[in-house]
C-alpha cells in the first residue's frame, strides 16, 4: 500500500512539473510560410517580420479578414508598402 501511494505521488508530481513548465513556454505566432498571391481584402496596415526561426522574413498585412503573410520581394507587395507609406505621410502632413 505504501509503495502504491509513493508511486502515485511520484506520477502526480511529474505531471504537475510538466504542466507548470508548459505555462512558461512562449507561444510563437509568426509567419512560417508566405503567400505570393495578391491580397484582395482591404489592407488596414502592415508590419515587417524579421527572420528568427521558426519565423521567416515576411510582410504581414493586417486586413479586415485577419493577418496575411506575404513575400517581401513580390512587386505588388513593395508597391502596396509604398502606397500605404504615402497615405500615412499625407495624413500626417494634413494634421
> What is the pTM for the complete model shown?
0.66
Separation between Cα atoms, residue 83 and residue 77, nearest integer Å:
10
Tens-place pLDDT, residues 22-70? 444 555 689 999 999 999 999 999 999 999 999 999 999 999 999 999 9
Distance between CA atoms of residues 3 and 32, nearest Å? 48
Per-domain residue ranges of the chain = 28-94
* Closest to 79 (Cα-Cα) out of 55, 54, 51, 46: 46
User: What is 28-94's CATH topology?
Assistant: OB fold (Dihydrolipoamide Acetyltransferase, E2P) (2.40.50)
Amino acid at each position: 500500500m505504501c509503495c502504491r501511494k509513493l508511486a502515485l505521488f511520484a506520477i502526480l508530481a511529474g505531471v504537475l512539473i510538466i504542466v507548470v513548465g508548459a505555462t512558461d513556454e512562449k507561444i510563437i505566432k509568426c509567419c512560417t510560410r508566405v503567400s505570393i498571391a495578391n491580397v484582395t481584402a482591404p489592407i488596414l496596415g502592415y508590419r515587417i517580420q524579421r527572420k528568427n526561426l521558426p519565423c521567416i522574413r515576411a510582410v504581414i498585412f493586417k486586413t479586415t479578414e485577419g493577418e496575411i503573410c506575404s513575400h517581401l520581394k513580390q512587386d505588388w507587395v513593395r508597391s502596396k508598402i509604398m502606397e500605404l507609406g504615402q497615405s500615412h505621410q499625407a495624413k500626417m502632413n494634413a494634421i
